[in-house]
Amino acid sequence: MAEQDQPFQSVWTREEPRGRRRDQPALSREQIVAAALELLDTEGVEALSMRKLGTKLGAGATSLYTHVTNKEEIMELVTDAAFDEVPSPTPGPWRAGLMALAKGLHATFMRHPWLATVVGEVGLLYLAPSMLRLNNDTLTLLEQSGFPDDEADITLTVLWAYCLGLAITDAASQQTIRRSGLTEEEWFRRISPAATAATAAYPVLHKRYAAFTAEAEQPTLDVQQIRMTAFEVQLDRMLDGLDPALRRTESPGIASAR
């Protein structure tokens, strides 16, 4: 099928190109994806280009076109590779399965700080093999746990939205801290007094920042543990609201929600 005849321009909606010219190195799609992933992790989205990726692979940029048609397709492939690191929920209690899935998503977002910032821009991401696997296995777990189809769909959407939203702020925070050259604990010990002072005119906010400043002054401060504890508590509260056994009303259908 000619590229211009495709209804959608995506690596997931066309056949993989075959063959290579004799003067092209024997690059594989896996090599290209691995190199692009490393480049993104170390230098960020702005650093990725066909020319730079070709140089990293010891090949001309044109040799990449054996496997991809443009940079956007590389981003599709690399995003799929990153999400492929997330384990699917295993059969069993649905809350434990969703908690494990959320932790896997969060850990993947933290390993690849660029990932959360590009999810909304990466083509037909929901057709990527990793996403098909994760979504299918999560919905299977929920259906086997007694969730009606519509409730399972809502639960999956809310879980992803929570994990993605948190990852965007956490990844940005991590980038800021890394650029400062400080550890997380050093960073929060320095920023907490300034935040407390800045909120002095806002009493409800101020008491929260003051409490965190007092916590930051403790010699046993472990920011990672604080973050993960908050993550689990917030997720647990959210799952309460999604639990069919705790719901008092039926969720509206599409037509009644308009």
The structural domains of the chain, ordered by start, are 3-83 (1.10.10.60), 182-244 (no CATH)
Give residue 235's pLDDT band: very low, low, confident or very high (50, 70, 90): very high
Average pLDDT, the chain: 84
Neighbours of 49 (CB within 10 A): 13
Neighbours of 134 (CB within 10 A): 22
State pLDDT tens for residues 37-89.
999 999 888 888 888 888 888 876 667 777 778 888 889 999 999 999 999 99
**Rounded Cα–Cα distance for residues 135 and 141 (Å):** 10
**Rounded Cα–Cα distance for residues 225 and 231 (Å):** 10
- Per-residue pLDDT at 5 exceeds 90: no
Place of tokens 């896996």: 30
Contact 153, 91 (CB under 8 A): no
Closest CA to 102 of 147, 160, 165: 160
How many Cα atoms are found within 13 Å in the side-chain-facing hemisphere of 223? 17
63-75: b (≥16 Cβ within 10 Å) or e: bbbbbbeeeebbb
Structure tokens at 110: 């933290």
Q: Which residues contact 111 (CB under 8 A, 6 or more apart)?
A: 41, 82, 85
Structure tokens at 172: 């940005």
CA angle 180, 219, 207 (to 5 degrees): 80
Give the amino acid at 26: A
State pLDDT tens for residues 101-132.
999 999 999 899 899 988 888 778 888 999 99
pLDDT the model gives residue 187: 87
Longest dimension (CA), the chain: 71
Q: What is the pTM of this model?
A: 0.80
For the segment 181-192, the average pLDDT, to the nearest whole number, is 88
